[in-house]
Amino acid sequence: MRLILLSALAVLSTGCSWILGDNQALSYLDAQEAAETQVPEGMTLYTYDRFPVPELEGNPGPGEEFKIPVPAPLTVAREDTEPTSLSDFKRELNPRFVRDGAGTLTLQINARFALAWSRVADALAATDVKLTDLNRSIGTYFLELPNPAAEEDERSWWGRLWGEKIEEVLPYQLKMIEAGDGVYLTLQEDAETLAEDSLTRDLLTQVKLQLEK
């Protein structure tokens, strides 16, 4: 109840001049210019017009019709540069073998991740390597490569029949890691095991040759 009374009192206090008939909001329209202040002789009143209105000479009339200003046309300066050729673009990728601090063989590519990702995918598609899946969010191409043990299997027919089966292909992961101004490719058997150096070099060589074409 107290809150209601306080709210009503606040409303009445803000509009009391209108309610009581003493509204002076528009009185300035009827204001008259007062004469200058008269001071006794010998006394100077230091005053000045804060917002002086300059005298208007003559009657300019309604003037010309207002025209909406139009911005100046946008001009783009032409650059005297020749378009980059495909061969120049491939040279800019500059795929090359380097070893990281742990001695792991990697293929370095001078490109941002998004560009390098699509280029390497195209390079893999142009080889005989089987690409089973890819996951850009973790920077991984999932591959199937021939199993060296299966190629070197010299067991007899009976030995293969009764012995342990050797898979002809094995799953591998080609990892892409962005660092600095480029990306690095390395081959892994799984998330924690690196592939053999010779197999890594063979695969990365195929990718490198395709990127250089």
Choose between 183 and 80: higher pLDDT. Answer: 183
Q: Is residue 114 part of a domain?
A: yes
CATH number at residue 186: 3.30.310.170
Percent of the chain exceeding pLDDT 90 equals 38
Quick check: 93 and 111 in contact, CB under 8 A? yes
Q: Is residue 51 part of a domain?
A: no
Q: Is residue 2 part of a domain?
A: no
- pLDDT of amino acid 16: 55
The pLDDT tens digits of the residues spanning 25-79 come to 788 778 787 787 787 888 887 777 778 878 777 766 666 777 888 888 877 665 5
Number of domains in the chain: 1
Gap between the Cα atoms of 200 and 172, Å rounded:
10
Which of 134, 130, 126, 149 shows the shortest CA–CA distance to 185? 134
Provide the domain limits for residue 171.
Answer: 86-212
Q: Is residue 74 part of a domain?
A: no
Query: Percentages helix, strand, coil for the chain, rounded to the nearest 5?
Result: 35, 20, 45
Q: What is the DSSP letter of 64?
A: S
Q: Count CB atoms within 10 A of the CB of residue 204.
A: 19
Q: Is residue 40 part of a domain?
A: no
Gap between the Cα atoms of 100 and 49, Å rounded:
80
Q: pTM above 0.75?
A: no
The secondary structure of 161-210 as a DSSP string is HHS----SEEEEEEEEEEETTEEEEEEESSSS-BPPHHHHHHHHHHHHHH
